[in-house]
Amino acid sequence: MVLEDDQIEDLFVSVKRRYGYDFTGYSEASIKRRLQKFIETSEIQSAGALRNHLLQDETFFRFFLDEITVNVTEMFRDPLFFASLKKNVFPLLNTYPFIKIWDAGCASGEELYSLAIFLDEDGLYGKSRIYATDISQRVLDKAMDGIYPIDLMKEYTGNYIHAGGKRSFSEYYTAMYGNAIFHSSLKKNVMFSAHNLAVDESFNEFNLIVCRNVLIYFKRQLQERVIELFLKSLPVFGFLALGNKETLSFSSFKNHFEEIDRLQKIYRRIN
């Protein structure tokens, strides 16, 4: 079964009404592809059946949510991003008595633990609070666990070294039964919470907001909503770190920011 555009729209309107999740602002090509894949694997026969199943069965909806959002991530992903934070942002954060950071769209936590490790190495972790949010509770649960397959550690160690890590990466986890269990001290200053960038409001003020590989899945209008939300959540001189796949260049809010790192898309609010 292939869903027509109006059937997809209908489906998203019903989902929004029932659960408050709004996918109408997601970029069409990517969401259609994932929706189609979901239909094929779940063996649902008609648009009506899919709609009914989603509206009546919340567990099925949670599964759907995970399948149509992209959760791919890794530790010290794009190592030069972390190198830039260390060089251009952390020294300024260090001038504050207390640091509040929002990792928006943190997925299963690899980005979050990478941040925690670098904050720790630069002596900033003790005075930091990190708010780690995502639309999906399932990936947040994984983030809270902080347990990842040991096979990935070779690649992550390479990323860590490339980013400028100072220690031996294996100091941060305990290897057990094929997994790397990251030390719980890395999450002692982390608050995990579900937050939907498409519909929820600002919930605090932060010195640094990290949101990478999330806006690329949104249409322009939703991107603008999220950038405005970030603007409202940053004081003047607060940092917004978007990573090398995103940009503020097309945003009507761009004049509120100065560029700190052109490639890694790290900005500072100036007014």
Ligand X SMILES: C[S@@+](CC[C@H](N)C(=O)[O-])C[C@H]1O[C@@H](n2cnc3c(N)ncnc32)[C@H](O)[C@@H]1O
Is position 73 an interface residue for ligand X (rule: CB under 6 A)? Answer: yes
- Least Cβ distance, residue 271 to ligand X (angstroms): 27
What CA–CA distance (Å, rounded) separates 111 from 116? 9
Residue 208 region by backbone torsions, left for phi larger than 0, else alpha for psi between -120 and 50, else beta: beta
What CA–CA distance (Å, rounded) separates 68 from 219? 15
Segment interacting with ligand X (CB under 6 A) among 33-41, 122-130, 135-143, 257-265: 135-143
SS3 77: coil
Is position 70 an interface residue for ligand X (rule: CB under 6 A)? Answer: yes
Residues contacting residue 30 through CB under 8 Å, at least 6 positions apart = 70, 217
What CA–CA distance (Å, rounded) separates 74 from 256? 31
CB 90, CB 118: distance < 8 Å: yes
Considering beta carbons, is residue 66 or 259 the nearer one to ligand X? 66
Is position 136 an interface residue for ligand X (rule: CB under 6 A)? Answer: yes
Is position 120 an interface residue for ligand X (rule: CB under 6 A)? Answer: no
The residue from 72, 97, 149, 171 that contacts ligand X (CB under 6 A) is: 72
- Least Cβ distance, residue 87 to ligand X (angstroms): 20
How many residues are there in the chain?
A: 271
Is position 29 an interface residue for ligand X (rule: CB under 6 A)? Answer: no
Site string for ligand X, 75-104 (x = CB under 6 A): --x---------------------------
Residue 183 region by backbone torsions, left for phi larger than 0, else alpha for psi between -120 and 50, else beta: beta
Considering beta carbons, is residue 69 or 233 the nearer one to ligand X? 69
Is position 15 an interface residue for ligand X (rule: CB under 6 A)? Answer: no
Is position 134 an interface residue for ligand X (rule: CB under 6 A)? Answer: yes
CB 184, CB 146: distance < 8 Å: yes
The residue from 111, 120, 246, 261 that contacts ligand X (CB under 6 A) is: 111
The residue from 75, 83, 130, 197 that contacts ligand X (CB under 6 A) is: 197
Is position 135 an interface residue for ligand X (rule: CB under 6 A)? Answer: yes
**b/e 17-55 (16+ beta carbons within 10 angstroms → b):** eebebbbbbbeeeebbebbeebbeeeebeebeebbeebb
Segment interacting with ligand X (CB under 6 A) among 51-59, 91-99, 210-218, 261-269: 210-218
Is position 69 an interface residue for ligand X (rule: CB under 6 A)? Answer: yes
Place of tokens 């009404």: 17
Chain positions contacting ligand X, by CB under 6 A: 69-73, 77, 105-107, 111, 134-136, 139, 196-198, 212-214
